[in-house]
Amino acid sequence: MEGWITILMAAGKGVRMHSAKPKVLHRVAGVPMIGHAVAAARTLDPSSVPMVVVSPDNRAAIARELGDGFEYVEQPEPMGTGHALSVALKHVLPQAANVLLLNGDMPLITSDDLRTLGETHLGRQAAITVGVATLAAEDAVDLGTLRRGARGKAVAIIEAVERTGQSAPTVEVAVGAFALDAVWVRGAVDRLPPHAHGEYFVTDLVALAIADGLRVEAVALNSVRPCIGVNTRAQLAKAEQEMQGRLRQQAMDAGVTMADPSTVYLDATVGFAPDVTILPNTTLSGTTSIAEGAVLGPNAQISDTWVGSGAVIGSAVINGSSIGIGAQVGPFTLIRAGSTIEDGAHIGAHVEIKASRIGKGTHVGHFSYVGDAVLGENVNIGAGTVTCNYDGQNKHVTTIGDGAFIGSGSMLVAPISIGAGALTGAGAVVTKNVGPGERVAGVPARQISQRPEATANEEGQSLG
């Protein structure tokens, strides 16, 4: 559908959130609430530039979060939704035929519902089409209710602050989504009546359209029924709970196995291939992408990470990294940002990897720290190995060549290079580069015989 302009209302302070953060920037499934609304709204006319109505106080924070690709319009005073619309319409180009007006605190709204809203609006040639939902009366105390007249036609919306005598067990409420004829609303918005405290309400446009003899439509938008708008932390939690249920279902529909879906937590930005298995108490967040056949958890926390096909990740914490095909990680392992675990590598229990590349087939078994390091293929890192990468002022790099064997308890004092096929004895403190095929042991480490049996006799110790 072409000729649409989307206006998102985001100037509200969100006082009941008790937060310095703008209300619409609080996150649901890892995405700011307004981000969900924007994603759904783009389906009407992907080519249009959404307009975001902000306040002078929250403009910088919202623009910083959303970035480019939006037009930001300031509402200088908090004079209600009608005034916000009036301010925004001054920036709408004359060729715009229709306006989608959407509250920015509606993370549960779906593109399907908004498409239905837009199609109904166009098909019925309405001046205004209102998104509504039917709720129990006790759940609608803060929402404007729809009043219907003869033949069930919508005739007005009564805001909660002005509603009296409500007795019906269920009510239809306006959910904060409107399709508007752009030509009509330009003139109508200036005729909105003021309410208490000098506020103007968008909802009064319904009565104005009826007075003008124009068509008003109401469309059920059931996607938002579990939580219409988010004004409190409790509502934020409710929206999160609903969104998690949707994301879990979408993942399972796409071929993901979850042993206990209620214990899995997903960001909306996570992607899956089929045949992924997610075990209980696992959280996947950010721009994480999981390839086919990977097994995650239990108790895994993975963010902004690519996980290759067939990888197995136990109770590990992984941030901003890449886990190769068939790699194994965990349990009780921390992979910090900037790390790459290549295909078939094994990272065992109680290991920390920081900003390092672990080569194909390399084993870092247990109780080790590898930081600012580049490890080749088929390297063996013995238990308790530490790359001593920090000298108190700067970080330094450790390089270990293919097929090297690092004995248990080795301290590798960076900057240092261990050559391909080299070996360090158990407990070695290595302060100088070790050439390919060399063997070192001791404190500080020094070169020893190339023959392992001679080394054991001459040094009085075995290598491990």
Q: Which residues are catalytic?
A: 366
* Residue that the structure tokens 């209102």 belong to: 130
Distance CA 87, CA 206 (A): 19
What amino acid occupies position 374?
Answer: V
Distance CA 188, CA 209 (A): 8
Comparing CA positions, the residue from 298, 240, 299, 307 lying closest to residue 271 is 307
Tokens representing residue 32 in the block: 């700011």
Stated length of the chain? 464
Comparing CA positions, the residue from 86, 78, 84, 79 lying closest to residue 8 is 84
